[in-house]
Chains A and B, each alone.
Chain A
Amino acid sequence: MAEKLVPVVCPWCSVGCRFYAVSANGYIRRIEFDYDHPTIANRGKLCPKGVASYQFINSPQRLKKPLRRVGERGEGKFEEISWEEAYRIIASKIKEIKETYGPEAIAFLGSEKITLEENYLVHKLSKAIGTNHLDFPGRYCQYSNSPARIALFGTSAATNPFEDIAKAELVVFWGHNPAETAPVLFGQYIEKAILDNNAPLIVIDPRSTRGHKYASLHLKPYPGTDLAIALAMLNVVISEGLYDKDFVRERTTGFEGLKESVKDYTPEWAEKISGVPAEHIRKAARLIATKRTAFFVNEGVNQHINGLNTAIAIADLIAITGNIGKEGVWSGVIPGAQCGYCVAMTGVAPNKLPTGKLVTDEAAREELERLWGFPIPDWVGFDLTTMVREIGNKIRMMYIVGGNIAKSMPNSGWVREQLEKLDFLVVQDIFPTETAAYADVILPAAAWFEKTGTAISFERRVQRTYKAAEAPGEAKPDWLIIVELAKELGLGEYFKYSHPDEILREINKVIPVFKGATPEYLAEHLEGCFFPCSEPGEGTKVLFKTAFKTPDGKAHLQPVTWREPPETPDEEYPFWLTNFRLVGQWHTGSMTFESPSLKKRWPDEYVMINPKDAKKLGIKTGDLVKVSTRRGSVLVRAEVTEHIREGVIAMPFHWQVNFLTLDEINEKTKMAELKAVAAKVERVEE
């Protein structure tokens, strides 16, 4: 059979790159670059993960048959069963738990790795069963910047298309390293601003990252103290009268409250907390206030308990400097996975409906009940951390689709102990992950290229990806598994779908911002549409040009105050431990570890230590060291390098770092402390 070029969206980060999967006889042989569609985000280009993305699909480790646990939880002993038996076991268990404890003992997780249509169905199934305990592993991703920007601007989405980044006069990387985490975005847009248009780059990061060599100014705060810098920048911009007075007067509310809240946060105060020289903070603030700025704010800001405050302060800064609502600026949330938006926009959260409204909104519930035909529970469910905390108590069963929480959640040791206490766990995945080891039933899912569906990039592009390969063995697409399980549960009448197109047509009706993103429109326009796409062919490229998405159309400036990180270094644990991503690895490695071209280039974890700290501890590059926090310890090789500031150590997050992170959460956003914990390092004799 001849080779066929199937247009697909890349399955890793959320830049939304397109390419072709070269398919023959139901297998993917390689990828080919898409230079045929000049308006796609990646303009043909790909990063190493994109190029290698056909490899994990063909891994011999893929799940091929439904499995039932025969050993202890976590032991990884399973036997093969038929789909009929798997559905029967799951359905009877759901029925039993509902009868014994009520539907509120069951929790569902959606996934940023499955399609828009599939997340919609996970949400619909959880509500049909009667539970609002619904969340996804991305709870620890954008849930600082997202609520902050919603509070200020009414929506957290990217303000401008990528092409505007190249037109910016200043670029700020704040806890973000796109040269490594989004190389195509960096190369096609950001680097053009910096190298071709001479925009200065400010990097705010305790590490020197790959983009750092282009930086004019590098602020190296201790992890978790970015808030102090943001507060001091607000203080400088306001006290020096550098803010955009017309913009503040005409388009914002709450300026006086903000001014009052930051009046004592001088750069000298911030220097004491963050270790960043006051003059550098002043210089950065003045540049931001006077130049059209593209802001890249990501996990270095987000993944802290005080991340909400930091994100609010940065959003305040963006607003009062008028760096929003026009061309040539950029800011917005940057989900780490290709379908982060697919989860967020289908309302996969403990308090949301797919329409974007709240479960507590009676009118919105009634509207959805009319569309769906069954009653919707009215109570607010648990976020992911609370779900896991409540296992063995209020939560008896979990249904996890495409997530590896045994590795991705903070304090992995504790998470695994909790998973052992579940009455029943279903894991639907493409690989036997660390989480699947705790499952009672494992359902083998089709991988990204083995199904048709919709993805949404962080540029707000809604794009279609098409089936290019057959799933191995008996694996089935996630949407079909949900449809078949619903039938077994007696809910078949609400899940009458035989193709993802039918699910997308329902989404077109239920979720207003996707009204125009029809299967037909997206098939004809591979470059996709920018949501809100209310009618086919319409899209919104620049947000907030005339009004914000708040009820009064103004940006609501928020007063903001300093909040200590929950753990700071002390005598016993003298270092700040933070973590980062590698360009050739992705999340918990379930797919990249099965990609030979990636695994051999990025084979292992390590811990970065500043030479001065290493000298005191007698540690050299390559030494085996034990890194410990109050949660646990891991063994890892040391890398002694100037690219980390003194007093801070850092590890890539794809391996074991979550045995060390902290499961305390922010009371509003439920964000945990993943990026700043107190740690010690000791050399281990080999």
Chain B
Amino acid sequence: MAHKKIFLDYKRCIGCKACEVACEMTHGNARIKIFEFPDLFTVPFNCRHCEKAPCLNVCPTGALFRDEDGAVAFNPLSCIGCLMCAVACPFGVPKLDEENKIMEKCDLCADRRAEGLLPACVSACPTEALKFGEINEVLWDKEGKVVANLKSSAEKGEGEKALIVL
């Protein structure tokens, strides 16, 4: 089965932080964060759930595992808080949960998925900057929209501008 992921359509993001608050409501701490830049550019960022996840390879206790949707999830009872996962992660995603002395990171809301719900951040995101689904379907959908835009702009004689408005 193809892997499901959260895709970041960052151009739609308005930095409202609904994702952070929804994540915090679900997990106690926000595991997704909006990064804001001085030019009003905002990027929501969470675990990439890498296909060749380095964190999975270095976890000494097997607390980190890949679940059936392809999420890099973790078993808190097995985690010893060594943060080798954080050492290996190229993004700095795994953080220390100081209260429980273990690592914490996005698990694509395993509990919500089990109930047939979307991850909380995706449910909330008012602009659909966060999209959840089988990753290639999400990407084909994006590609299709881009091509449709190119086509309609070309028909209006705005072929070159089309690349700018996308």
Contact = CB atoms under 8 A, between A and B. Distances in A.
Contacts of B81: none
A183 B18 CA distance: 9
B163 interface: no
B12 A48 contact: no
Contact of A213 (B40, B123, B126): B40
Given A52-B25, A601-B20, A179 B125 contact: no
Interface string A46-67: 1110111000000000000000
A642 B40 CA distance: 11
Given A180-B16, A183-B16, A208-B40, A51 B124 contact: yes
A45 B124 contact: yes
B15 interface: yes
A45 B125 contact: yes
B51 interface: no
A129 to B, nearest CB: 43
Interface residues of B, number: 30
A639 B132 CA distance: 36
A180 B17 CA distance: 10
A210 B21 contact: no
B25 A51 contact: yes
Contacts of B123: 33, 35, 44-45
A180 B14 contact: yes
Contact of A598 (B12, B21, B40): B21
B28 to A, nearest CB: 11
Interface in A265-292: none
Contacts, number: 97
Contacts of B40: 208, 210, 212-213, 643
Contact of B11 (A186, A195, A210): A195
Contacts of B26: 30
Contacts of A256: none
A47 B16 CA distance: 7
Contacts of B11: 195
Contacts of A210: 14-16, 40
A45 B21 CA distance: 13
B108 interface: no
A47 B126 contact: yes
A620 to B, nearest CB: 15
A621 B116 CA distance: 46
Interface string A145-158: 00000000000000
B22 A188 contact: no
A358 interface: no
A42 B126 CA distance: 8
A213 B41 contact: yes
Contacts of A47: 16, 18, 124, 126
B63 to A, nearest CB: 26
Given A50-B18, A213-B39, A213-B40, A183 B165 contact: no
B14 A597 contact: no
A601 B17 contact: yes
A201 B14 CA distance: 15
A52 B132 CA distance: 22
A195 B18 contact: no
Interface string B79-105: 000000000000000000000000000
B126 A186 contact: yes
B151 interface: no
A459 interface: no
B25 A46 contact: no
A512 interface: no
Interface string A602-645: 00000000000000000000000000000000000000011100
A2 to B, nearest CB: 14
B138 to A, nearest CB: 16
Contacts of A641: 38
A195 B12 contact: yes
Interface residues of A, number: 38
A583 B22 CA distance: 15
A157 B66 CA distance: 52
Contact of A198 (B15, B41, B165): B165
Chain B CB within 10 Å, residue with most, of A52, A187, A196 = A187
Contacts of A50: 18, 124
A360 to B, nearest CB: 44
B139 to A, nearest CB: 17
B128 interface: yes
Contacts of B24: 597
A191 interface: yes
A635 B31 CA distance: 34
Contact of B14 (A31, A33, A179): A179
A211 interface: yes
Nearest to A211: B14
A539 interface: no
A439 interface: no
A341 to B, nearest CB: 22
Interface in A173-197: 179-180, 183-184, 186-188, 191, 195-196
Contacts of A597: 20-21, 24-25
Contacts of A195: 11-12
Contact of A45 (B38, B126, B153, B165): B126
Chain A CB within 10 Å, residue with most, of B20, B117, B124 = B124
B145 interface: yes
Given A195-B11, A211-B14, A213-B41, A186 B25 contact: no
Interface in B123-145: 123-129, 145
B126 A187 contact: yes
A300 interface: no
A287 to B, nearest CB: 16
A383 B158 CA distance: 54
Interface in B38-76: 38-41
B17 A583 contact: yes
A196 B39 CA distance: 22
A584 interface: yes
A196 B9 CA distance: 13
A208 B38 CA distance: 11
B127 A191 contact: yes
Contacts of B18: 45-48, 50-51, 183
Nearest to A216: B165
Contacts of A31: 25
B39 A187 contact: no
B16 A48 contact: yes
A598 B18 CA distance: 10
A186 B124 contact: no
A464 B112 CA distance: 27
29 contacts: A33-B124, A46-B22, A47-B18, A47-B124, A48-B16, A48-B21, A48-B124, A50-B18, A51-B25, A52-B21, A52-B25, A179-B14, A186-B127, A187-B125, A187-B126, A187-B128, A187-B129, A188-B126, A198-B153, A208-B40, A211-B14, A213-B39, A213-B41, A583-B16, A584-B21, A598-B21, A601-B21, A642-B38, A643-B40
Question: Can you list the 6 inter-chain pairs with the closest CB atoms, starting with the nearest?
Answer: A187-B127, A187-B126, A48-B21, A183-B16, A179-B14, A33-B123
Given A30-B26, A48-B124, A210-B40, 18 more contacts: A33-B118, A44-B123, A46-B18, A47-B124, A47-B126, A48-B20, A186-B14, A187-B12, A187-B126, A187-B127, A191-B127, A211-B14, A213-B41, A583-B16, A597-B20, A597-B24, A601-B17, A601-B20
Interface of A: 30-33, 35, 42, 44-48, 50-52, 179-180, 183-184, 186-188, 191, 195-196, 198, 208, 210-213, 583-584, 597-598, 601, 641-643
Interface of B: 11-12, 14-18, 20-22, 24-26, 38-41, 117-118, 123-129, 145, 149, 153, 165
